[in-house]
Amino acid sequence: MSSNDEVLVNGQVHTLCAPRTLAELIGELGHAPDGVATALNGEFVARGQRSERVLRDGDRVTCFQAITGG
């Protein structure tokens, strides 16, 4: 990763000044890990896998409220 890579978060550019995992980004954005679902480049990422997913320049991150119930 070079300095100042950019990812799209819900369609808005977010600059990364250092390597970040999806879990770190979610925390930096102020989201509670249990309160948000995530997708990376269109693929759902379970909460337990976020710390394994290192973000790269041009990645697309989607954060959305998890819907439960019936």
Residue listed under structure tokens 């954005």 = 29
| Separation CA 8–CA 23 (nearest Å) | 15
Model confidence over 12-43: pLDDT tens digits? 999 998 999 999 999 999 998 888 999 999 99
DSSP string covering 40-58, please? ETTEEE-GGGGGG-B--TT
| Separation CA 54–CA 68 (nearest Å) | 28
Q: CB-based contacts of 44: which residues, under 8 Å, 6+ apart?
A: 37, 38
What pLDDT was estimated at residue 65? 83
Q: Which CATH superfamily is domain 5-64 in?
A: Beta-grasp domain (3.10.20.30)
Band of pLDDT at residue 70, cut at 50, 70 and 90: low
The dihedral formed by the CA atoms of 32, 36, 7 and 43, expressed in degrees to the nearest 10: 140
| pLDDT exceeds 90 at position 63 | yes
